[in-house]
């Protein structure tokens, strides 16, 4: 005995009506209608190279900037670069758990803190060298 793979679903605008004023249409599982594409997904022409190059990194695994955060730990701004390292590790963990939006957000924060740490560290080193030479 084999079960049927069809079902009845309420669809607006159909001619058949049951006694309650709801329309129904019987469809099989293999013939389900796909939802319409959103306007942002519709395209009448070729996509520009700018659009394809910016969309490609977002489809893959987000960057965690771990190497940049480790490099920033050599700068003498330890509270900032340690926090950048923590954000980078949190970004990596979020990406491995499947939270891609959280991983992107934490990765951007790790990148920002790492850059701030490198810039401030460079300024401190330059000031220290210039003041010790005099």
Instruction: Say if residues 88 and 49 touch (Cβ distance below 8 Å).
Output: no
Residue 73 located in a structural domain: no
Residue 103 located in a structural domain: yes
Of residues 104 and 27, the one with the higher pLDDT is: 104
| pLDDT the model gives residue 116 | 97
Residue 57 located in a structural domain: no
| pLDDT the model gives residue 35 | 53
| pLDDT the model gives residue 129 | 95
Separation between Cα atoms, residue 1 and residue 123, nearest integer Å: 79
Check pLDDT > 80 for residue 52.
no
The average pLDDT across 95-114 equals 96
User: How many domains is the chain partitioned into structurally?
Assistant: 1
| Residue 88 parent element (H or E) | helix 78-97
The average pLDDT across 92-115 equals 96
DSSP bridge partners of 122: none
Of residues 40 and 103, the one with the higher pLDDT is: 103
Residue 37: CB atoms within 10 A of its CB come to: 9
Residue 37 located in a structural domain: no
Check pLDDT > 60 for residue 58.
no
Of residues 10 and 50, the one with the higher pLDDT is: 10
Residue 65 located in a structural domain: no
> Dmax over Cα atoms in the chain, in whole Å?
97
Separation between Cα atoms, residue 83 and residue 124, nearest integer Å: 19
* Token duo for residue 40: 């942002």
Instruction: Say if residues 18 and 24 touch (Cβ distance below 8 Å).
Output: yes
Residue 106 located in a structural domain: yes
Instruction: Say if residues 94 and 106 touch (Cβ distance below 8 Å).
Output: yes
Quote the mean pLDDT of the chain: 75
Under the banding of pLDDT at 50, 70 and 90, the label for residue 48 is very low
CA atoms within 13 A on the CB side of 129: 6
Residue 19 located in a structural domain: no
| pLDDT the model gives residue 44 | 46
Residue 7 located in a structural domain: no
The average pLDDT across 60-87 equals 94
Closest C-alpha among 58, 132, 131 to residue 100 = 58
Domain that holds residue 85: 79-133
3-state helix, strand, coil in the chain (%, to 5): 55, 10, 35
| pLDDT the model gives residue 5 | 56
The average pLDDT across 33-53 equals 46
């Amino acid at each position: 005995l084999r079960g049927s793979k069809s079902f009845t679903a309420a669809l607006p605008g159909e001619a058949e009506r049951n006694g309650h004023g709801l329309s129904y249409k019987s469809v099989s599982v293999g013939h389900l209608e796909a939802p319409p594409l959103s306007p942002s997904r519709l395209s009448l022409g070729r996509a520009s190279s700018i659009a394809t190059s910016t969309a490609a990194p977002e489809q893959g695994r987000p960057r965690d900037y771990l190497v940049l955060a480790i490099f920033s730990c050599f700068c003498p701004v330890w509270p900032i670069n340690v926090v950048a390292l923590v954000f980078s590790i949190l970004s990596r963990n979020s990406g491995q758990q499947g939270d891609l939006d959280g991983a992107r957000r934490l990765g951007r924060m790790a990148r920002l803190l790492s850059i701030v740490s490198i810039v401030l560290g460079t300024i401190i080193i330059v000031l220290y060298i210039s003041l010790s030479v005099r």
